[in-house]
Structure 1
């Protein structure tokens, strides 16, 4: 019963619906006592040869009326109880989704997508079943069983009732034992389903890679192993579940045997009439449902218990990044100052950034370059406050970013990450993701700035073209430019392009950068790149190596230093000339 105790907060919230539903079930239980009584009275009247057509018509009318009332009441309790269960399902799904949006990146790095989806689908459905069918089964079995036992004991014969119920303790022990087995096995089955769900999601997202490496058969074999594991674990649950009905039927059958045997003896002794014995056996038949319901209840509760534990475990995880109590409710603006003594990712031992010091005036452009793994993306993520800096501080407008509310802080940024995520929607809807109310003219202006407008017009439906999941129908360069347009549309105080020009050609890159400089006056821009031409015009450039600043300055200053930046810039320029055939002509 612990699952009902844990859900008590919701039962109190929906007390009106549950209260009316339970009262309706109680009325149903009482009304269902009438048909056996009517049958007993008719049997005794037939035996005494006193049944008249008028009296028979009266009993038949009352039975018909009872059936109609029961029909209406059963409809009402279904609406009340099942409706409350479905509202709980919606509430928990919304809570879980909202919780996902608050959790920090580290949580999603440690959790599989398929597992999180399984929590939001199968587990929530099992909890809904507990709040709907579970409550129904509990209340109905108690009311019906209690009413039937009370009627048999006090209105027919208490000794016959006692004898008939002798096998019941055995059933209570058996169903409790089965319930414990189901709890353990169902938990394992849900974990196996999560693993399968994750595998499907992963393979569908990476289907092009699988095909490119010819790993279709290997992935099919792996999927077959997972499906077999899910099947075996669910069969293990079903094997226990299958024991409920035979066990209950056997015990109830033994109760019938005792009732008929001892009841016949009482009839012979003239202690009860044949009509009362008939009435008693019908009532005993009514006990079959409460007994079966009790077994079903154990099954439902244990499934709900296992699923609620899994969901509650997720909801108990607190986000790493939260608002301070005195957080400022304003969008940050102004100069940026980054002073980081050291930053280490949670769970890591070596710092990813060390001794970072840079000041950027509002409206300037900062370029960040360096080898893969040098800390460029980490720098950007700290600005967005995906992680907090414990040794150092980041200030915008002279105020630490930890003093701003997260919602306000992130409104100041337009972020174009390395992994360009597009939704399964139209191109216009993808560009307007940050401003759903944007006009078509504003969307097209942002697309022109990102040099993607002409490409979009070539699509069959233009801006109304629906892209595939994650933008699989587009090229890498097109996805990058649509992502840039999405960021430009919100006209952010700070625009971060995290290696977001890598998939476009040099000519397109130059056009995009010129558009940014012309249209982002008094707006700060941060560009990380491997191709140094992307940061050549920046007001300040950082060269990172192993999380430290190796060089910094303007393009001219860095070229004059003759260090890594100058060497890499010349090399990339040479590669560009070779690609265009320039070197061969120059040497001729």
Structure 2
């Protein structure tokens, strides 16, 4: 998560946050217009009821009959029914607007996150993004819904009520509003403190969400290492910290909202005292006094609401700014202004003296690494940590590199569209990710419109077809999150089948058969040899046997390609290659 500090010295920009909300509001201007019209009519009708009460009370004072009281009562009932109908419609339009804003911003977030690359996402955890789309977005929805409604309602009602009160008695109105400046000063003073504390609350919620996600995703590991109690303690500590920061924010809220109510009640006391004297002096009529009290009652809600609205808006703006920060992130991999067409197969990939360092690290993983991959199968071996997986990610265009460093058929990849180049590559990473879906859907992930025959052919090529048929629902068997119902070898073969189904001119396998038994491995390798004809294939493995049929073998150490040649050549001159070959040969013989 990006660390901007509790005060957001360079991160907080309310204008950007409001601009983000305006983009959504512009799409539903008609809904807002109709909703606020209904809200305004409700307020006008509420303001009209005290006038009816005034005439009723004055009528009683002058000895009017019960027919007049019945007529006035019927007017109030009719106004109340009309208010109920209009309230239904303003809620449907305005609160519905807030839900539409929530949906649109969530969709924008998902769309935007899918455009970001690993460099752009380096400073964010999954829990942070989940918190933004959950707790933060809920705060935005509440501010854009009830917060906006309460604010507009409070402003309109305040102005209108003050106007009606002034029409009855200007001096008494001035007395009634005398405490309001104290509320304005307090609200302004506490708003900045509320913002700082809400930022801390949302950041703690992100940490809590990430801890929960990690716990669920790795629950088997926690059990295997008997770490349930330790993880429970960590989660409890984060939960206590989250509650602590919420209570600190509540302390500020607990000052603002009650004080707003105190100001409103102070106005009532002043009006009762001074207004009562005016009635006794017959300066105003009893009906005027009752109407004035009713208007003051209507004004009390806005005075109390301003504290509540300030709280909602502060939370909403804080969350909206955090969401804006995410939407402001830009991928470091950018398409050129005029991308050139991708070369036609067969393809030759060249990496020339590439040096690469992960964001936030000082030591480079690749050090002036040069490699040429021509059509055919190229095998790559190297010790753990030598940069093999990083090399695969560079070749797959998951990270940016300088101009002239990486070419395809002599064409600089920075002149090609990122998606265009990736459309040429089928990539099988070390951790072959599977989804909580059917086996067929997982194999067809990169080609959703693939037919059953294509899916079966890919499964046969990775020697898993028979195992799939033996499952309860065959290819429609759901495999659970991350393929939890499968063995490691089955997960790897399904991930490989997914890549083979794409039938792309470049295939990169990063140790994708490490969990497969030797017999099955040989079946798969024979299919790969046939599949790789005319294609550019790079297979990384720690098993020498997997690479014996490769057209060319490479050895990688300390971020560089240090040797290349045939199996026999490397046995003669490369100590690392010879050592692992002898070790694996002895292991096989021992079996």
TM range (shorter): over 0.9
Are the counterparts in 1 of residues 354 and 370 from structure 2 also a CA contact under 8 Å?
Answer: no
CA distance in 1, matches of 2:57, 2:362: 85
SS in 2 for 1:33: helix
Q: Does 1:160 align with 2:168?
A: no
Are the counterparts in 2 of residues 413 and 496 from structure 1 also a CA contact under 8 Å?
Answer: yes
Instruction: Tell me by how many angstroms 1:198 deviates.
Output: 0.7
Q: Does 1:341 align with 2:353?
A: yes
2:47 corresponds in structure 1 to 33
2:71 corresponds in structure 1 to 58
What is the 5 A alignment of 1:383-394? 383-390=395-402, 392-394=404-406
CA distance in 1, matches of 2:238, 2:191: 26
1:291 corresponds in structure 2 to 303
Are the counterparts in 1 of residues 378 and 538 from structure 2 also a CA contact under 8 Å?
Answer: yes
SS in 2 for 1:496: strand
Q: Note the alpha carbon deviations across 1:381-422, whole angstroms, 9 max, x for none.
A: 111111233274222233222222111111111111001211
Instruction: Tell me by how many angstroms 1:226 deviates.
Output: 0.9
Q: Note the alpha carbon deviations across 1:17-50, whole angstroms, 9 max, x for none.
A: 2222222222221111111111111111111112
Structure 1 stretch displaced more, 409-418 or 236-245: 236-245
2:565 corresponds in structure 1 to 553
Are the counterparts in 2 of residues 331 and 411 from structure 1 also a CA contact under 8 Å?
Answer: no
Are the counterparts in 1 of residues 348 and 408 from structure 2 also a CA contact under 8 Å?
Answer: yes
Stretches of structure 1 that go unaligned for 5 or more consecutive residues are: 580-588
Instruction: Tell me by how many angstroms 1:303 deviates.
Output: 0.4
Structure 1 stretch displaced more, 105-114 or 256-265: 105-114
Are the counterparts in 1 of residues 120 and 330 from structure 2 also a CA contact under 8 Å?
Answer: no
1:8 to 22, 25, 32: 22
What is the 5 A alignment of 1:496-511? 496-511=508-523
Instruction: Tell me by how many angstroms 1:331 deviates.
Output: 7.3
Q: Does 1:138 align with 2:151?
A: yes
1:197 corresponds in structure 2 to 209
CA distance in 2, matches of 1:103, 1:351: 23
Instruction: Tell me by how many angstroms 1:5 deviates.
Output: 5.9
Pairs aligned (count): 576
SS in 1 for 2:554: strand
CA distance in 2, matches of 1:300, 1:452: 55
What is the 5 A alignment of 1:370-381? 370-381=382-393
Q: Does 1:524 align with 2:536?
A: yes
1:327 corresponds in structure 2 to 339
1:309 corresponds in structure 2 to 321
Against the structure 1 CA distance between its residues 6 and 151, is the aligned structure 2 distance closer, same or farther, given a 3 Å change threshold?
A: farther
Instruction: Tell me by how many angstroms 1:182 deviates.
Output: 2.0
Are the counterparts in 2 of residues 115 and 194 from structure 1 also a CA contact under 8 Å?
Answer: yes
Which stretches of structure 1, 4 residues or longer, exceed 6 Å deviation after superposition? none
Q: Does 1:419 align with 2:431?
A: yes
2:480 corresponds in structure 1 to 468
Against the structure 1 CA distance between its residues 391 and 352, is the aligned structure 2 distance closer, same or farther, given a 3 Å change threshold?
A: farther
Instruction: Tell me by how many angstroms 1:514 deviates.
Output: 0.4
Aligned CA RMSD, in angstroms, stands at 1.9
Instruction: Tell me by how many angstroms 1:441 deviates.
Output: 2.1
What is the 5 A alignment of 1:392-407? 392-407=404-419
Q: Does 1:573 align with 2:589?
A: no
Q: Note the alpha carbon deviations across 1:160-209, whole angstroms, 9 max, x for none.
A: 11111111111222233333332121111111111111111111111111
Q: Does 1:223 align with 2:260?
A: no
1:366 to 378, 391, 394: 378
2:3 corresponds in structure 1 to none
Instruction: Tell me by how many angstroms 1:562 deviates.
Output: 5.7
Are the counterparts in 2 of residues 477 and 504 from structure 1 also a CA contact under 8 Å?
Answer: yes
Are the counterparts in 2 of residues 371 and 545 from structure 1 also a CA contact under 8 Å?
Answer: yes
CA distance in 1, matches of 2:150, 2:417: 47
1:97 corresponds in structure 2 to 110
Against the structure 1 CA distance between its residues 279 and 320, is the aligned structure 2 distance closer, same or farther, given a 3 Å change threshold?
A: same
SS in 1 for 2:119: helix
SS in 2 for 1:74: helix
Instruction: Tell me by how many angstroms 1:129 deviates.
Output: 1.7
Against the structure 1 CA distance between its residues 175 and 402, is the aligned structure 2 distance closer, same or farther, given a 3 Å change threshold?
A: same
1:175 corresponds in structure 2 to 187
2:38 corresponds in structure 1 to 24
SS in 2 for 1:36: helix
CA distance in 2, matches of 1:16, 1:444: 52
1:71 to 84, 99, 109: 84
CA distance in 2, matches of 1:553, 1:567: 16
Stretches of structure 2 that go unaligned for 5 or more consecutive residues are: 1-13
SS in 2 for 1:38: helix
Against the structure 1 CA distance between its residues 68 and 215, is the aligned structure 2 distance closer, same or farther, given a 3 Å change threshold?
A: same
Are the counterparts in 2 of residues 423 and 430 from structure 1 also a CA contact under 8 Å?
Answer: yes
Structure 1 stretch displaced more, 107-116 or 506-515: 107-116
1:279 to 291, 302, 311: 291
Are the counterparts in 2 of residues 333 and 412 from structure 1 also a CA contact under 8 Å?
Answer: no
Are the counterparts in 2 of residues 333 and 396 from structure 1 also a CA contact under 8 Å?
Answer: no
1:489 corresponds in structure 2 to 501
CA distance in 1, matches of 2:75, 2:300: 24
TM-score by length of 2: 0.93
